[in-house]
Each structure stands twice: as structure tokens, then as C-alpha cells.
Amino acid sequence: MRLSRVEVSDFRKLTRVLVEDLAPGLNVIAGDNEAGKSTLLAAMRAALFERHRVTGQVIEEMLPYGRQVRPTVEMDFSLDGSDYRLLKAFGSRPEARLVGAGGTEWTGDEADDALSRILRFTRPGRGESKPDQHHGAFGMMWVSQGTAHQTPSLGAVREQVAGAIEREVGEVAGGEHGRAMLQLAAERQALFWDKLRRPRGEYRKAAEDLTGLREQRDMVRGRLRELEADVDRLGLIAARLEAYSAEDTLGQARVSASAAHEAVLALGTLQQLVATASDSAALAELGRRNTTRDQAARSGMIEAVRRSAAGLEQDRQAANEARGRLERLQSAGHVARNSDTKAVADEQAARQALAKLQAADKARRLREFVARGQQMLTAAEDLERSRLEATALLAAIKVDADAMARLETLAAAIAEAKSRLEAASVRLQLRPQFGGAAEVDGVILEAAEFVISRDTTVHLYGFGDIDVRPGGGVAGLEAAVKAAEAKLADALSALGQPDMGAARAAWEHFKAARHELPSLRQSLAALAPDGIERLRFDLAVGTAELDQLGDVGGAEAVDALEVAKRRAADCAEVAAQARAALEQANKQAHGAEAELAVATDREANAQRIDEQARAALAEARLATSDAQLQEFEVVAATAFEQATLALEAARTQLRGAEPDLVQLRHDKAVKALDATMANIEQLKRSQIQLEASLQAHGREGLGEQLAFVEGEIAERDARLERLLVEARAAVLLSETLVQAQRETKERWLRPIHERAAPYLSLLRPGSEVALDEDTLELNAVRRDNIVEPFAGLSLGAREQIAVITRLALADILADGGQSACLVLDDPLVNADRHRLERMHLVLHKAAERHQIVILTCRERDFLSMGAHMVRI
């Protein structure tokens, strides 16, 4: 399509705009801001794509504000070699007229339909048409202001583009169906493998089951092998037992043992013979020893008789010697006894003489004692009397220290009362003149001083009476005096004392008696320490003793007494010596008697022994004579010799029978029998145990288990094999699909890449646009294998890439036979100067194939581009 003229009147704010002589290539329609460039684009779209009888909101938006006009658009364009003139008027008088090649004219709805047909677009059922859905290729190639940076939305033109590509590439993309197949393949793969490509699900379980079954099989196999080994063992045991039975091993062992036993018994007989000979030899030995011992005993007895006779003789001599010594000592004892008798008599006489003298001396001293005692008794009796008197006095006088103190207190109280009375009394000094006198209480008083302590009438002679009345409580004081006096009188009376003076005298007596009494007691004690009665008794005793002595003289001289004493002492000494000599003689006599007794006993004992020895010897000889004894000894010696020879012969015979060998053979045979029996027993026991064990194992049915498990393994193995192939197939399918999709995609998008490449080489050499193979929407820009998402590019880059993509798609459409001009409303506002210049080159290049109309308010940006410039 190529536009050549556009005239718009009364469309929105455009009253009238005419753009004509548009170039086939690059055109720039420049205008100031608000000049109406975008409105111009809207008017062109309305003219081509809206029905002329459109109403409602759509027409409202076409009308200038507040004016009821008739928005009208006229366009001249050429398409596929044909020129067209279009008139579209909207509003109150809508009109559509299209004049085509050769003057063909469509009007009204036909004109609208004709447009739809030749421009390949569809209108919405109602309402305003939307560029991406209803404007066909123009939806993509006419770009409104501010949307140039957006990815081109193919919308309705997608099928046209895809058709063009398929025609060029010769194949189709997978589309929805392909995606579904991919999805199913991925899902199937996920049934077998997880994301880390490890088996999962049924596949994994089958492998695990198989592993488990193989383990189970191995276990059962192991147990079966054990079982078979047991069966083999059982067979061996049975074979051995059978062999034992066949060879009669046990019977042979028994025979051997029995023979060995017989040999041992024979050996026992020989041993018995040796034992008997040994016993006989022992007996002969004993007999020989006995005769020898008897012979020795007889010799001993003869020797004993000889020794006892000698001993008797010796003891007898000793006894005779003892007797002689005793007799000598007894004689000396007589002499000593006589001397002693005489000394005793002398001593007796001397003692008698001394006793007499001592009695006389005692009478004298008794008499002196009686006389002195009498004196002392008298004095003591005097003292006792004085003591009794003083004691009686102390008892009679009641005035003791306390009583005397009380009395003195009472007397002092009286004196004090009196003093007070006196002080209160009237002291009357009578100093009569003229010899006058006065009478008071009937007492005539002369010159005197007296005291009046009560109402008293003093009669003065010659004067008359004077009543004296002492004041100040005299009467009380007087009563006190009397009361004190009464107390004293009572106290005295109680003590039996008439007055205070007597009392004081009695107190003095008391004190004197109390002072005297101790000295009296001391004196008395000195005279009669044990009391007067004792003194009296001692005196009476002395007197009695004296009377008893009678007249013994008493006048002998003390010297005589002393002589008599010495005499008596001498006699006593002589007597003592005589007695000592006697005792010595007696003692020696006793010793000699004891020795004699001993000697006599020994003699008697020796006599008895001698008799016994003789008797024993006689008795023994009576039983067996000495000659017989000698004969016995010879016989026994011979018997012993013979028995010894017999024993040696028996022993030689036993040694010849080889007892150790016989015993060894016996032990060996017995052990062999035992071992054979134990072996058979052990084998039978093992047989029973093995049979029991096998019986128990048999119940488990290991054979069936193994066969079953092996069958299962075979079946599971086949199943796993299938699953393995399926699992690999799932991966292979998924990967093959993905690979095929990638390759197909690359092939399918190659036309777009090829179309975009020349433009991109001007702007971003080495870059490639990446589009979704289904929607053909721009996804990313790829350069040097680095993929940059479209949305991540800068605004300016997005504008530029999007414009280039549109150009590439326009190329494809054009190559597919559908050319459309590009109208870009301020498309490169974000480009820097360098990029803008590059884009100018791009647009120039594109303009070689397509008409391009740029609407802009930035006229200067495009001045250098060399485009056809139109200003509105």
C-alpha cells in the first residue's frame, strides 16, 4: 500500500488538513505539538477501518467538541498496482465511497466491505474496532504515539505472517498440539524419573521390589544350602552307622575288652599268690623275731636277778649304818634333857623369889596410890559442888543478856518519858522568905524546887493557894511515864526482880557464875579426867587390891629386887641354852630316825624286787627252759628263710606274666569299647537332632518358597525390563520432542531473523531478535549467545528494536504478497543522536521497499534524514 493524499476535515480538532504528494518511500509529516498529528492518524484509521455509519461513542470521539459537523476523510492510495480514492464521512450524513482501478466505485456499506476485502481486515460485530484485532497488518504497522517501544502485537495478522513463513520455510510449527505432546511427554517422563533423573514411582518400586525379592531368594537359597548340608550330614551319619553295624565294630570291641578282662583276671591270681607268699614270709619273719626277742628276754631276767641281789646287799648295809647313828644320837639326847631339867628348876626358884619381891613392891605403890587418890577425890568433890552451885545459880537467875537489855531499854524509856514530862512540867522554885512554907498535896514544902506536872494546888502559907496548871499535854506525858514504868514493873516481875537494882545485881551474879563455871570444869577434869565416880572406883579397886595382898612386907630393898631379877634372868638364860641343846639333840635324833626309815624301806624294796626277779625267772624257766628257748630260735630262723625263698619265686612268676602290659591292653580295650559306644551314641544323637531340625525346616517349605520367589523374580525381572525400556523411552521421547521443537523453531523463525538482520546490523551488529514461534511476539534480543529479555532493555532500545521487528515483519508480509505502508507517530523520541542517526539509516533502507510515514513534532530530528517533508 502506498498513500499519496490524505485530506481531513472536521475530525476532532482538525478543521481541515491536507497532506498530499506523499513520496513512495520515506515521508515526514511534521507539526507542532497539538497540531493534530495523532488526530490525523486517527482519521486515517477511521476512514479505512470504521464503518461509515458507525454511531455512538465512536462517532462522538470523531466530532470536535461542541460542534455538530460532518467528519470527513479523503484518501488516495494505491494497493497491489491499483489506485484507490476513498471518501468517508461520518456523523449526521454518513457517506462512503471508494473508487478503484478502472473507475470501479463502491459506495455505502459496499465501500466499507470492499475496503475490508482489499485491505484484509475484519471489523468487530459492533463498537469501535481495535487496531491489533481488527486492522489486519495495519494494526501492527501503524503505530500510535507513545507505543512504539512496545513489542509489536500481531493479533489478527499473526496468521498472515505465519502463512507467509510456512510458505517460505515449507513446514509448520508444532503449535498447540505440539505443546500438548511436549507436556504429555514431560509428564510421562516424570512418572519414571525425578528432576535429578533418579528412578521414581512404579519404575523405582519395581527395581526395589526386585532387589528385595533377590535378597529374599538369596536368603532362602542360603537356608536351603544349609538344609542340604544337613541332609548330607545325615546321610554321612547314616552311612557310618550302617558301616558300624555291617562291620560289627561294637561287637569286636566288646570281644577285645572281654579278652583283656580275662587276662587281667589271670594276672590277679598270680598277684594273689605273691600276696600269700608275702604274708607267709611276714609271718615267718615275725616268728623269727619273737624267738629272738624271747631269748633276749630270758637273758634280761637272769641279769635282773643278779642286779637285784647286789642291790639288796647294798641297801641292807646302809640300813645298819643308819641304825648305829640313831643310837648315838639318842644317847646324847638323854644328857641334854637332864641339863635342861636342872636349868628349869633353877629358873623356877629364881622366879618365885622374884615374885615375892615384886608383890611387896606393888603393895607399897598401892598404898601410895590410895593415899593420893583420896586427896584428889576430896578436892574433886569440892569442885563438883561449886560447879553444881554455879549451875544452879545460872538456872535460877532469869536475867540473862537479852532480858537485861530489854530491862535497860524500858528503864531508858521511863527516863525519856520523865525527861519529857519534866520539860513540860512547871518548875516551881520555892524560896520562901520569912520561913514560910508551902503545902502541896498535903506535903509541906519549904525552900525547894519542885516540879509540877499536873494541876496542882500549891498552898502557900501565908499566901494562900496557887493553882498551878501545866499546859501542853502534861497529862499525856505523865501517863506515858506511868505506862513505861508499868511495863518495867511487869518485866521485872516476870524476872522475879523487885527492881532495876536487884535486876542489875542478879545480872552481875549471872555473869560471874557463867565465867566461873568453865574453870571449875577444867579443874575437875584435871583431877578426875574420867569423872569422880571413876576416881572413886579406881580408889576402891586399889584399896581392894591392897587388902588382897595382905601383909607382904613391902619394906624390902629395891636392890634385893634387882638382884632377884638378875638371878632370875641368868637362870632363864641357862634354861634357854639347855632347852636349845635339847632341841638340837632331838632334831638330830629325828633326822637319824628318818634316814633309818628310808634305808629300811629301800632294803625292804630291794628285797621285794629281788624276790620278784627270782620268782619271774623261776616261772619262766618253769614254762620254757633256757635250752628250749635256744631250740625255738633255730627253728624260726629256718622257717623265715624258706618263706623268703617262696615269696621271691612267686614274684618272679608274676613279673614273667607282664602285669603292666596286661593292664595296658585291658585299659586300651575298655577305652576302645567306650569310645565306640560313645561314637555310636553321638552319631545316633546327631541323627535324631538333624532329623528333628530337618523336620522343622521341612515344615517351612523352603523349596516352595525358593521356587515361588524365583518365579516372581523372573516375572518381575521381565516387568522391570519393560519398565526400563519404557523409562528410557519416556526420556528419549521427551528429549527428542524438545530437540525437534528447538530445531523447528529455529528453522521457522529464520525468515524473520533474516529480514531483521540487515536492519539490526545497522543498529546493533551481531544481534538477533528472538520471537515466540507461536505468537510471534518479540521476547528478547540475542547477541553473542547472550539473551536480553525485551522488557529488560532501555526505552530507547525497545523503540528501536520494535521498529526494526515491524520492518522485518512488513518485509515478510510484503514477500507474502501483502504490502502495507508504515505509519509511525513519533516513534524514536527516546533515541540518542547516534542511535537516531542509525535509525534514520534503518528507515531509509526499509523505505526502499515500503512507504514509511513518520508523524513528528521534532522536525529537526528528521531534517537530515532526507525524507519527503510535509508540514501541517
Q: 120: helix, coil or strand?
A: coil
Q: Amino acid identity, residue 305?
A: V
716 CB contacts (<8 Å, ≥6 apart)?
206, 209, 210, 213
Pick from 649, 725, 791, 841 the residue near another protein by CB under 8 A.
725
Nearer to another protein, 626 or 715 (CB): 715
CA 475 to chain centre: 109
Task: Quote the CA–CA distance of 459 and 430 in Å, as a whole number.
Answer: 12
Stretch that binds another protein, among 55-63, 371-379, 498-506, 688-696 (CB under 8 A): 688-696
How many angstroms separate the CA atoms of 802 and 200, rounded?
A: 46
Q: Is 733 in the site for another protein (CB under 8 A)?
A: yes
Taking CB under 8 A as the binding criterion, the range among 365-373, 496-504, 634-642, 704-712 that sits at the site for another protein is: 704-712
Q: Is 162 in the site for another protein (CB under 8 A)?
A: no
Restricting to residues 177-196, name those near another protein by CB under 8 A. 177-178, 180-181, 184-185, 188
Sign of the four-CA dihedral 687, 691, 694, 696: negative
Check binding of 235 to another protein (CB under 8 A): yes
Identity of the residue, 58 or 181, whose beta carbon is nearer to another protein in the bound complex:
181
In angstroms, give the least distance from the CB of 40 to another protein.
43
Q: How far is the CB of 233 from another protein (least distance, A)?
A: 8
Binding residue for another protein, selected from 190, 708, 758, 869, defined by CB under 8 A: 708
- Contact status: 229 vs another protein (CB under 8 A): no
Q: Give the Cα separation of 354 and 358 in Å (integer).
A: 6
Q: Does 720 bind another protein (CB under 8 A)?
A: no
243 binds another protein (CB under 8 A): no
The least distance separating another protein from the CB of residue 738, rounded to whole angstroms, comes to: 9
Q: How far, in Å, are 343, 350, 356, 361, 372 from residue 551 at the CA level?
A: 31, 21, 11, 12, 21
Whole-angstrom distance, CA of residue 359 vs CA of residue 368: 14
Length of the chain: 872
In 397-497, which ranges are continuous DSSP H helix? 401-424, 474-495
Decide: 758 and 769 in contact? Cβ < 8 Å.
Answer: no
Q: Which lies closer to another protein via its Cβ, residue 486 or residue 732?
A: 732
Say how many residues touch another protein, by CB under 8 A.
60
Name the strand (E) or helix (H) holding 696: helix 659-700
Is residue 728 at the binding interface for another protein, with CB under 8 A as the rule? yes
Rule CB under 8 A: is residue 273 a binding residue for another protein? no
Stretch touching another protein by CB under 8 A, among 172-180, 451-459, 553-561, 819-827:
172-180
- Spatial distance between the Cα atoms of 431 and 447, rounded to a whole number of angstroms: 5
Distance CA 328, CA 235 (A): 125
Residue 234 is a binding residue for another protein (CB under 8 A)? yes
Question: What's the min distance (Å) between Cβ of 855 and another protein?
Answer: 40
Q: How far is the CB of 221 from another protein (least distance, A)?
A: 11
Least distance CB 817 / another protein (angstroms)? 23
String marking each residue 742-771 x if it binds another protein according to CB under 8 A: -xxx--------------------------
Q: Binding string, 32-71, against another protein, x = CB under 8 A?
A: ----------------------------------------
Q: Using the rule CB under 8 A, is 296 a contact of another protein?
A: no
Asked if 694 interacts with another protein (CB under 8 A), we say yes
Query: Quick one: 180 or 661, whose CB is closer to another protein?
Result: 180
Instruction: State in Å, rounded, how far the first CA of the chain is from the last one.
Output: 22
Three-state DSSP at 788 gives strand
CA distances from 593 to 6, 321, 337, 581 (A): 203, 12, 18, 18
Rounded to whole angstroms, the Cα distance separating 115 from 105 reads 11
701 contributes a contact to another protein by CB under 8 A: yes
Distance CA 846, CA 778 (A): 19
737 binds another protein (CB under 8 A): yes
For residue 524, give the C-alpha cell: 575437875
CB 323 within 8 A of CB 596: yes
Stretch that binds another protein, among 476-484, 520-528, 618-626, 728-736 (CB under 8 A): 728-736
Contact 86, 115 (CB under 8 A): yes
When binding is defined by CB under 8 A, the residue of 345, 444, 732, 795 that contacts another protein is: 732
Are 497 and 427 in contact, with CB atoms under 8 Å apart?
no
> Are the CB atoms for 642 and 284 separated by under 8 Å?
yes
Assess 686 for contact with another protein (CB under 8 A): no
Indicate whether 740 belongs to the interface with another protein (CB under 8 A).
Answer: yes
Specify the residue, 234 or 541, whose C-beta has the smaller distance to another protein. 234
Give the one residue of 172, 283, 576, 791 binding another protein; rule: CB under 8 A: 172
197/735 Cα distance (integer angstroms): 13
| 72 neighbors 64 (Cβ within 8 angstroms) | no
Q: Which residues bind another protein (CB under 8 A)?
A: 171-175, 177-178, 180-181, 184-185, 188, 224, 227, 230-232, 234-235, 237-238, 690-691, 694-695, 697-715, 725-726, 728-733, 736-737, 739-741, 743-745
